[in-house]
């Protein structure tokens, strides 16, 4: 990517829609706009683009796009003078009709008159390089676009507004202060004393370490918030697992019959339950398999359970518990699990109290047939993963694996500082690990990253963003 030339791209998907947007950004964006746009009501002595951008750097005007003398479309033109644009460069955005052909014609016209096609993520990369956003905010842009549930969206918007950035900068300032103090004392011991300093440093680093630990811990919830909760439905054959999946999905996705063992392989669906994304896996009924195919299905069910964030154990309330149930109960011990007592609409032989005592988990009575108890299941899952509600006012959730890695490395360096203090090491040892922690935190916001990593990150963005 050349970060100085003028780029153009479709900022909306190419397809049939009411409105489409073509974005042009760079030092010649206004010149390109002047060549292809004709403002309605313009006098012969006036330019096509509106003037007075020094006083009012954002303006909208109505007119038409021309390729030479050929009229292409009737449009609204948004003119944004740098740095008052997304890229912090001079930018022209063309709001045209959203047909694939007309959008492509306008883009081709812009390219013929001085722009070049933008690469994926190039607008956001320029915003980053020009200091408009930092790297964590740039990554949040794509998270907003790809958000699958309301919590993932709220978290991404919070990060886009700088929640992660502000916290990281606050922590870096505290670390840099300590490092600078040590360096000053080592350079000028007559005027800056370090007497009693190790104990002071230990006390001041404790809240910093606590904050970094909290961010690292939040990555667990952050991952399920962004990617969804890996959920596996377990139970004996004919317990109602597939019926439950169909209720959660809202349509007949799994085959349901009275024949035990109908489900032989795993079936995966993504659903929304009380605002949370669940990546649900319906599995073969767990029992002493009767044939080779069923054995494979049972084995896959157990393997899926080992990888799950959440296990939903479905019990048929109309039949007694047996050794197959005890096998499943052993499988879910120590895991995040919800126990559902299904077929509560029938005459039951298993009680919630009996099942709670045997499993050690709270039991929710449901009827997949009557679709009852599902709301309580949603509330239970939300409480298990988010303690009921999620607040984005002061809580930050780390949803990016790269951020978690950098924070973990920073935490390791800070803990090494604490170990050096307790071991009575000289103060100059502290600065090495303090600066390592400082640099690792800088990777989160893009102040200590290699160009190859930056290109890789922005290369994952969609075209026009």
Res 204: pLDDT: 94
Domain boundary among 110, 133, 156: 133
Backbone angles phi, psi at 414, to 5 degrees: -65, -40
From residue 271, alpha-carbon distances to 214, 278, 365 in Å are: 29, 5, 21
Per-residue burial over 305-336, b = 16 or more CB atoms within 10 Å of its CB, e = otherwise: beebbbbbbbbbbbbebeebbebbbebbeeee
Residue length of the chain: 465
User: Diameter of the chain by CA atoms?
Assistant: 91
Long-range contacts of the stretch 160-168 (C-beta < 8 A, 24+)? 162/137, 163/392, 163/396, 164/136, 164/137, 164/140, 164/396, 164/398, 164/403, 164/444, 164/445, 165/134, 165/136, 165/137, 165/445, 167/211, 167/215, 167/396, 168/136, 168/441, 168/442, 168/444, 168/445
CA distance 49 to 93: 12
Pair (128, 144) in one structural domain: no
Examine the pLDDT at 351 and tell me if it is beyond 60.
yes
For residue 234, what is the domain's CATH number? Answer: 3.40.50.300
For residue 419, what is the domain's CATH number? Answer: 1.20.120.430
Pair (127, 41) in one structural domain: yes
Residue 397: CB atoms within 10 A of its CB come to: 26
Pair (157, 246) in one structural domain: no
Tokens at residue 330, please? 């052993």
Question: Do residues 313 and 337 lie in contact, with contact meaning Cβ atoms separated by under 8 Å?
Answer: yes
Res 266: pLDDT: 57
From residue 423, alpha-carbon distances to 288, 418, 419, 430 in Å are: 58, 9, 6, 11
Closest CA to 128 of 438, 454, 404, 357: 454
Pair (310, 406) in one structural domain: no
Domain boundary among 91, 109, 133: 133
Percentage helix, strand, coil for the chain under 3-state DSSP, each rounded to 5: 45, 20, 35
Of 50-59, 112-121, 279-288, the range with the lowest mean pLDDT is 279-288
Question: Do residues 84 and 58 lie in contact, with contact meaning Cβ atoms separated by under 8 Å?
Answer: yes
Pair (287, 164) in one structural domain: no
Q: Is there a domain that residue 318 lies in?
A: yes
Distance spanning both ends of the chain, measured CA to CA: 14
Question: Do residues 440 and 406 lie in contact, with contact meaning Cβ atoms separated by under 8 Å?
Answer: yes
| Count of alpha carbons within 13 angstroms of residue 315, beta-carbon side | 32
Pair (147, 39) in one structural domain: no
Q: Is there a domain that residue 413 lies in?
A: yes
Q: Is there a domain that residue 2 lies in?
A: no
Q: Is there a domain that residue 36 lies in?
A: yes
Q: 275: helix, coil or strand? A: coil
Tokens at residue 22, please? 């073509």
Q: Is there a domain that residue 441 lies in?
A: yes
Res 426: pLDDT: 86
What one-character-per-residue DSSP string does 400-445 give? -HHHHHHHHHHHHHHHHHHHHHHTT--HHHHHHHHHHHHHHHHHHH
CA distance 339 to 311: 8
The total number of structural domains that make up the chain: 3
Pair (238, 375) in one structural domain: yes
Pair (237, 219) in one structural domain: no
| Count of alpha carbons within 13 angstroms of residue 350, beta-carbon side | 27
pTM for the full model?
0.75
Structural domain of residue 102, as residue ranges?
A: 7-133
Return the bridge partners of 140, or none.
none
Pair (262, 409) in one structural domain: no
Number of H-type helices and E-type strands within the chain: 15, 13
Examine the pLDDT at 151 and tell me if it is beyond 80.
no
Pair (254, 403) in one structural domain: no
Question: Mean pLDDT, to the nearest integer, of 358-386?
Answer: 86
Res 46: pLDDT: 79
Backbone angles phi, psi at 95, to 5 degrees: -95, 105
Q: Is there a domain that residue 144 lies in?
A: yes
Give residue-wise pLDDT tens across range 63-114. Answer: 999 998 999 999 999 999 999 999 999 999 999 999 999 999 999 999 999 9
Pair (98, 166) in one structural domain: no
Question: Do residues 67 and 36 lie in contact, with contact meaning Cβ atoms separated by under 8 Å?
Answer: yes
For residue 88, what is the domain's CATH number? Answer: 3.30.1360.120
Q: Is there a domain that residue 254 lies in?
A: yes
Domain boundary among 386, 416, 436: 386
Pair (210, 331) in one structural domain: no
CA distance 139 to 447: 14
Examine the pLDDT at 218 and tell me if it is beyond 50.
yes
Res 265: pLDDT: 47
Res 383: pLDDT: 83
Of 129-133, 139-143, 285-289, 409-413, the range with the lowest mean pLDDT is 285-289
Q: Is there a domain that residue 464 lies in?
A: no
């Amino acid at each position: 990517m050349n970060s100085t030339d003028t780029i153009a791209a479709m900022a909306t998907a190419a397809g049939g829609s009411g409105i489409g947007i073509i974005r042009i950004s760079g030092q010649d964006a206004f010149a390109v706009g002047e060549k292809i746009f004709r403002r309605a009501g313009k006098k012969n002595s006036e330019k096509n683009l509106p003037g007075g951008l020094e006083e009012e750097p954002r303006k909208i005007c109505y007119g038409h796009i021309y390729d030479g003398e050929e009229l292409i479309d009737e449009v609204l033109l948004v003119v944004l003078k740098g740095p008052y644009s997304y890229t912090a460069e001079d930018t022209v955005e063309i709001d045209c009709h959203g047909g694939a052909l007309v959008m492509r014609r306008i883009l081709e016209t812009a390219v013929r008159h001085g722009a070049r096609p933008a690469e994926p993520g190039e607008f956001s990369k320029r915003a980053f390089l020009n200091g408009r956003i930092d790297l964590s905010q740039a990554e949040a842009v794509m998270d907003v676009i790809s958000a699958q549930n309301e919590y993932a969206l709220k978290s991404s918007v919070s990060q886009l507004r700088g929640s992660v950035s502000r916290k990281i900068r606050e922590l870096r300032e505290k670390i840099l202060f300590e490092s600078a103090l040590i360096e000053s004392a080592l350079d000028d011991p007559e005027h800056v004393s370090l007497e009693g300093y190790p104990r002071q440093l230990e006390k001041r680093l404790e809240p910093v370490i606590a904050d970094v630990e909290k961010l690292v811990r939040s990555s667990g919830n952050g991952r399920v918030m962004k990617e969804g909760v890996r959920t596996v439905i377990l139970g004996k054959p004919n317990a109602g697992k597939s019926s439950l999946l169909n209720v959660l999905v809202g349509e007949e996705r799994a085959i349901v019959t009275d024949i035990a063992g109908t489900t032989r392989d795993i079936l995966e669906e993504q659903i929304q339950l009380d605002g949370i994304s669940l990546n649900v896996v319906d599995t073969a009924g767990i029992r002493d398999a009767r044939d080779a195919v069923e054995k494979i299905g049972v084995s896959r069910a157990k393997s899926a359970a080992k990888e799950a964030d959440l296990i939903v154990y479905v019990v048929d309330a109309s039949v007694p518990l047996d050794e197959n149930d005890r096998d499943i109960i052993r499988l879910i011990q120590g895991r995040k699990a919800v126990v559902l007592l299904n077929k509560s609409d029938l005459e039951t032989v298993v009680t919630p109290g009996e099942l709670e005592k045997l499993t050690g988990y709270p039991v929710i009575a449901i009827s997949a047939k009557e679709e009852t108890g599902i709301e309580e299941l949603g509330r239970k899952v939300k409480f298990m993963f988010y303690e009921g509600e999620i607040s984005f006012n002061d809580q930050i959730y780390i949803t990016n694996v790269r951020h978690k890695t950098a924070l973990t490395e920073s935490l390791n360096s800070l803990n090494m500082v604490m170990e050096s203090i307790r071991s009575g090491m000289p103060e100059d040892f502290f600065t090495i690990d303090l600066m390592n922690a400082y640099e690792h935190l800088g990777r989160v916001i893009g102040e200590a990253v290699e160009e190859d990593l930056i290109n890789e990150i922005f290369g994952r963005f969609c075209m026009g963003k």
